[in-house]
Amino acid sequence: MLGALARMFGRKSRLRSVGVYYVGRTYHVVTQYGSDGGDPCVEVGPVASVERPDDPAQLGQAILRGLAQCRYDYPFPKSREAWKSVPLPLLAATGLKTWSAVAKQANNLRVDQVDSDVRIRPAKRGAKQSFYPVPEREIALAAPTDLALGQAVMTELDFARTHEGPQ
């Protein structure tokens, strides 16, 4: 019992992350995993897809479920073939055939969580079929409700869509 208490109080807070892609009128929440105990960096799913809801709490709930599924034991892809399989769950969910199509049509952000604190990290499209952080648009939320989290993510992705648009 003392060992369990020591582990509980000595527990290090872990970063949990999801990527959120907005394609058409659907949000796709993709769980990220860490490798060899490291912070989440491999975005392999599962993917929860939410049609643009009237109630942003639905999106907030999907994000929190994705964060709860984050683990730290995913094998880091070591080959080109292994990396090609990483986006397959997102491609299946969006109906798009390639990562290039996702990069051209989606708006993206990352949601990180440590304990009950959440950070929304918007991204913008780059010239090389990838997304880059926009630090000046980051939002920190302390223990957000489903509604507050969903609304903040929807607002940021709407901003990206109207200020960047598909390329």
What is the residue-averaged pLDDT of the chain? Answer: 88
Tell me the percentage of the chain whose pLDDT exceeds 70. 91
CB-count exposure of residue 86 (10 Å: 0-12, 13-18, 19+): middle
The count of domains in the chain is 1
- For residue 156, being part of any structural domain is answered with yes
Query: H/E element holding 17?
Result: strand 15-23
pLDDT at 8: 55
Residue-wise pLDDT tens digits, 70-102: 988 888 889 988 888 899 999 999 999 998 999
Domain span at residue 116 reads 14-163
- For residue 108, being part of any structural domain is answered with yes
Closest CA to 124 of 90, 67, 166, 66: 166
- For residue 47, being part of any structural domain is answered with yes
CA 53 – CA 8 distance, rounded (Å): 38
Could you tell me the CATH number of the domain that includes residue 57?
3.40.1590.10
Q: Which residues contact 146 (CB under 8 A, 6 or more apart)?
A: 57, 58, 60, 61, 64
Indicate whether 2 pLDDT > 60.
no
pTM listed for this prediction: 0.88
- For residue 111, being part of any structural domain is answered with yes
Per-residue confidence band for 21, with pLDDT thresholds at 50, 70 and 90: very high
Per-residue confidence band for 122, with pLDDT thresholds at 50, 70 and 90: very high
- For residue 154, being part of any structural domain is answered with yes
